[in-house]
């Protein structure tokens, strides 16, 4: 029997510039649905590939006094994988925004990822159904594209102009469907 009284949030501890940060998200939320969808998508897309997708259960050490636990990332260089986590920059990092994490994901974590040389960084807003893709150019992130699922209240002309899928920049042949990323998101 499901215990509906167990509404304890998931707790994730990170450290940036020597300061410990505790992040929390409710056990069932659009945030968790989207990060699980992304992991599932990339597990299928990268099957048999040297690159491996990871969910938010892996510590990533990027600087001596900084480690994070991204919602999702892809690592192609297996030499960075150690017993206590990943040591060095993954190839792609995705953070799924929630009210308690948005400021950190857009600020300190984005700057840390940029300094660490992570080539591609996504910010995913599960409620607005938007994906912002940032690419590292000359040691700074540049907003490459914004992908979104239009709301049902928009005109058909606007909806037809929106792409329904996009190419993952760091992995040229991989295409991601927006409907797969936002599948089962509650409005």
Give the model's pLDDT for residue 104. 92
Whether 23 contacts 100, CB under 8 Å: yes
State the sign of the Cα–Cα–Cα–Cα dihedral 165, 122, 117, 74.
negative
Residue 106 falls within a domain, yes or no? yes
Q: What is the residue range of 112's domain?
A: 11-181
Range of lowest pLDDT (5-19, 22-36, 87-101, 137-151): 5-19
Whether 161 contacts 153, CB under 8 Å: no
Highest mean pLDDT among 36-40, 63-67, 97-101: 36-40
Residue 3 falls within a domain, yes or no? no
Number of domains within the chain = 1
Q: Give percent of the chain above pLDDT 70.
A: 85
DSSP-derived pairing of the beta strands 130-137 and 140-148: antiparallel
Is the pLDDT assigned to residue 18 strictly greater than 80? no
Residue 187 falls within a domain, yes or no? no
Residue 103 falls within a domain, yes or no? yes
Residue 148: both structure tokens together? 């979104």
Task: Give the pLDDT confidence of 44-85 residue by residue, as tens digits.
Answer: 999 999 999 999 789 999 999 889 999 999 999 999 999 999
Residue 2 falls within a domain, yes or no? no
Residue 6 falls within a domain, yes or no? no
Is the pLDDT assigned to residue 23 strictly greater than 80? no
Give the model's pLDDT for residue 3. 37
Give the model's pLDDT for residue 5. 42
Residue 51 falls within a domain, yes or no? yes
Q: CA angle 24-30-34, nearest 5°?
A: 100
pTM as predicted: 0.86
What CATH number does residue 72 fall under? Answer: 3.90.1570.10
Residue 131: both structure tokens together? 């994906």
Residue 90 falls within a domain, yes or no? yes
């Amino acid at each position: 029997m499901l215990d509906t009284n167990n509404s304890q949030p998931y707790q994730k501890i990170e450290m940036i510039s020597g300061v410990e940060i505790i992040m929390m998200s409710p056990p069932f939320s659009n945030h968790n649905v989207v990060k699980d969808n992304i992991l599932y998508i990339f597990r299928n897309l990268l099957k048999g590939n040297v690159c491996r997708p990871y969910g938010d259960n892996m510590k990533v050490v990027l600087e001596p006094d900084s480690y994070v636990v991204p919602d999702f990332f892809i690592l192609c260089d297996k030499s960075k994988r150690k017993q206590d986590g990943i040591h060095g920059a993954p190839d792609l990092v995705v953070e799924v925004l929630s009210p308690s994490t948005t400021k950190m994901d857009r600020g300190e974590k984005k700057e840390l990822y940029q300094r660490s040389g992570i080539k591609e960084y996504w910010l995913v807003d599960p409620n607005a159904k938007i994906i912002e893709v940032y690419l590292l150019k000359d040691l700074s992130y540049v907003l490459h594209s914004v992908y979104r699922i239009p709301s049902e209240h928009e005109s058909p002309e606007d909806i037809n102009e929106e792409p329904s899928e996009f190419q993952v920049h760091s992995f040229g042949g991989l295409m991601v469907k927006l409907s797969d990323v936002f599948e089962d998101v509650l409005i």
